[in-house]
Amino acid sequence: MLLGKTINDDLYEELEELLIQSDIGMNMTMQLVEELESSVSRKKLKTSEQIYDELKELLKAKLIYNDEENTKLKLKDGKLNILLVVGVNGVGKTTSIGKIAKKLKDSGKKVIIGAGDTFRAAAIEQVEEWGKRTGVEVVKQAHGSDPAAVIFDTVKTAKNRGFDVAILDTAGRLHNKRDLMKELEKINKIIREQSGETDFETLLVIDSTTGQNGLEQARIFNEIVDLTGIILTKFDGTAKGGIIFPITSELKKPIKFIGVGEGIEDLREFDKKEFVEAMFD
């Protein structure tokens, strides 16, 4: 189909709307539309299909920190690997930990989980539930105990008993940035001291249904801890998820996993081509 100028304008409006709806944010939407207009004229693109395809290419090009070698978890053989999982309450930290534990266990790794969210009573039971479901050992203490002590126990146990991966859950209270910072600094110090590692995965969980707020959360956590990647949850049943574009660009960190449901198998490794296609479904 050949497009006239008016159809073109409508198409741009439609695409702009789609990008904004997907939570990609105003700045990046404007930038993309501008880039698109210039490639359309430079490449003399005519059909709406060509223009959609070009937009997909531009979107993929924005995901420069998300090549396969970056999006894969960095796990080394013959030593303990730490995955510290952070993020605000309710985003899906514990659920993602359960799913990751299952994936790693299935791939033959010896996995242990530390129930570091001691703040909510139900949080510890929830981790234990995931432990049972995945057949993975859980280290816990009583509700209200010091999260750093749980992390200490977990890393020590993991180290002594030759585990391959320790996944550490945390509480995500964000009402007080200073407290959160202090708590995470303490946890970081304990991990470094107990594991002897300075280079470990710190994964920030972002709920794709929270929209632009996700970018703000990412900024705050990125100031507090040395993030190595993002897990985007609740990508099921929503066309959104565009928030990863400003997050990954601004933080210069890869997306490691996408949560696509509440079930144990509902976690995908991030694939930028697949993700961009899913945005247009």
Report in angstroms how near the CB of residue 229 gets to ligand GDP at its nearest: 16
Task: Assess 262 for contact with ligand GDP (CB under 6 A).
Answer: yes
Site for ligand GDP in 87-126 (CB under 6 A): 87, 89-95, 126
Least distance from Mg ion to the Cβ atom of residue 89, Å? 7
For residues 256 and 231, the answer to whether their CB atoms sit within 8 Å is yes
Segment interacting with ligand GDP, rule: CB under 6 A, options 28-36, 108-116, 192-200, 259-267: 259-267
Q: 201-240: which residues touch ligand GDP (CB under 6 A)?
A: 205, 233-234, 236
- Residue 236 labeled ligand binder: yes
Q: What is the dihedral angle through the alpha carbons of 8, 14, 18, 24, rounded to the nearest 10 degrees?
A: 50
Positions of E strands within the chain: 81-86, 111-114, 137-139, 165-168, 201-207, 229-233, 255-259, 267-269
Helix (H), strand (E) counts: the chain: 11, 8
Tokens 């409006």 -> residue: 13
Q: Pairing state of beta strands 165-168 and 201-207?
A: unpaired
Partner that binds at residue 240, options Mg ion, ligand GDP, none, CB closer than 5 to 8 Å by kind:
none
Report which residue's Cβ sits closest to ligand GDP. Answer: 259
Q: Which is nearer to Mg ion, 51 or 85 (CB)?
A: 85
d(CA 281, CA 278): 5
Q: Residues interacting with ligand GDP, by CB under 6 A?
A: 87, 89-95, 126, 172, 205, 233-234, 236, 259-262, 266
- List the binding residues for GTP: 87-94, 169-173, 233-236
